[in-house]
């Protein structure tokens, strides 16, 4: 598929409906909104969004995969968007189990392609280490790696204080909404027409779901140590699962040095997209779709 056709699938068709075929299912730690699109018997792509953006964040990418005969399964992480959460610690292990439960609900027995956004790279790594027989490829979009903003002594200490996620979420909510606004301002006029509704949904989910900010904060507080991340990377490498990393030239949220531990253990296919920030999948979907398709579509 060339760049022009990828853009056509990732734009005009994508926004006919921001998302379709959604339902809510009961999982171990709460009711979760899931979305399955594409041929029921097609190869599966499992999409895992970042800490705050809901499943709609992939809406400009999934149509191209569906057009190629792939089944796209998306879902909201516990507590985010329209999903619920029982207040258990949201470790990467718990969220990897959530991914497994989603696949089990849809009775997926074949290997899947896992595509993540931002710090859900850590969830995919745990999932791939624990269940290597279920993973065909892993693609990290704008990965955060061992993010020094949250994987530090302050967050480790704060996690030891009961109720700290509730307290911190009071300050995190306006910050996260402002951060989404900053991402949105980075859009050029034409992409803004397509991505605008997605940003609207993301902001609305933070404002209206009383658990959303607390869940995101709890996830930040429970991020793994670098040693635990290294264990997952070693397991991912041992499983010989192909990995691709898509980075954006104007990235401001994550620090590329935080990916060095990843590179030490994994030799991913690296793709750089210039002229896009952390949310480059909404700014320049046409620039990353050809790489994602080539990497995953057999």
Going from N- to C-terminal start, the domains of the chain cover 3-296
CATH of 3-296, one of 3.30.470.20, 1.10.10.10, 3.40.50.1820, 3.40.50.1100: 3.40.50.1820
Looking at residue 19, its pLDDT comes to 54
Q: What is the pLDDT of residues 110-168, one digit of tens each?
A: 999 999 999 999 999 999 999 999 999 999 999 999 999 999 999 999 999 999 999 99
Q: What is the pLDDT of residues 49-105, one digit of tens each?
A: 999 999 999 999 999 999 999 999 999 999 999 899 999 999 999 999 999 999 999
This prediction has a pTM of 0.93
> What is each CA distance from 13 to 181, 202, 216, 263, 288, in whole angstroms?
25, 20, 31, 36, 17
Looking at residue 12, its pLDDT comes to 44
Q: What is the pLDDT of residues 255-288, one digit of tens each?
A: 888 999 999 999 999 999 999 999 999 999 999 9
Listed range (29-33, 36-40, 186-190, 222-226) with the worst mean pLDDT: 186-190
* Mean of all residue pLDDT scores within the chain: 91
Looking at residue 20, its pLDDT comes to 59
**Rg of the chain over CA atoms, in angstroms?**
18
∠ CA 163-51-206, rounded to 5°: 75
Looking at residue 254, its pLDDT comes to 85
Distance CA 223, CA 152 (A): 9
DSSP character at residue 52 = S
> What is each CA distance from 99 to 20, 135, 166, 216, 264, in whole angstroms?
19, 12, 25, 17, 26
pLDDT of 3 strictly over 60: no
Distance CA 115, CA 141 (A): 7
Q: What is the pLDDT of residues 226-245, one digit of tens each?
A: 999 999 999 999 999 999 99
Distance CA 231, CA 239 (A): 12
User: Can you name the residues that pair with 113 across neighbouring β-strands?
Assistant: 45, 137
What phi and psi values does residue 269 have, to the nearest 5 degrees? -70, 120
Distance CA 19, CA 82 (A): 13
Q: Using CB atoms within 10 A of its CB, is residue 256 exposed (0-12), middle (13-18) or buried (19+)?
A: exposed
Q: What is the pLDDT of residues 165-200, one digit of tens each?
A: 999 999 999 999 999 999 999 898 888 888 999 999
């Amino acid at each position: 598929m060339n760049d022009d056709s990828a853009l056509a699938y990732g734009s005009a068709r994508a926004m006919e409906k921001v998302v379709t075929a959604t339902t809510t299912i009961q999982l171990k730690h709460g009711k979760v909104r899931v979305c399955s699109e594409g041929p029921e018997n097609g190869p599966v792509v499992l999409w895992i969004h970042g800490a705050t953006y809901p499943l709609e964040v992939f809406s400009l990418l999934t149509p191209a995969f569906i057009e190629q005969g792939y089944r796209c399964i998306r879902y909201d992480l516990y507590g985010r968007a329209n999903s619920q959460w029982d207040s258990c610690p949201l470790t990467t292990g718990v969220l990897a189990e959530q991914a497994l439960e989603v696949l089990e609900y849809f009775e997926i027995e074949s290997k899947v392609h896992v595509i993540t956004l931002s710090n859900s790279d850590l969830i995919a790594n745990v999932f791939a280490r624990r269940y290597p027989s279920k993973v065909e490829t892993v693609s990290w979009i704008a990965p955060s790696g061992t993010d020094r903003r949250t994987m530090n002594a302050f967050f480790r200490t704060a996690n030891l204080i009961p109720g700290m996620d509730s307290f911190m979420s009071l300050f995190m909510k306006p910050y996260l909404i402002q951060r989404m606004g900053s991402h949105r301002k980075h859009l050029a006029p034409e992409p803004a027409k397509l991505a605008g509704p997605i940003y609207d949904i993301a902001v609305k989910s933070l404002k209206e779901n009383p658990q959303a900010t607390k869940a995101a904060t709890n996830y930040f507080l429970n991020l793994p140590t670098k040693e635990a991340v290294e264990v997952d990377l070693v397991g991912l490498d041992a499983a010989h699962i192909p990995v691709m990393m898509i980075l954006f030239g104007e990235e401001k949220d994550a620090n590329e040095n935080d990916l060095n531990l990843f590179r030490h253990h994994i030799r991913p296919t690296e793709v750089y997209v210039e002229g896009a920030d952390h949310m480059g999948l909404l700014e320049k979907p046409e620039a990353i779709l050809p790489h994602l398709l080539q990497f995953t579509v057999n």
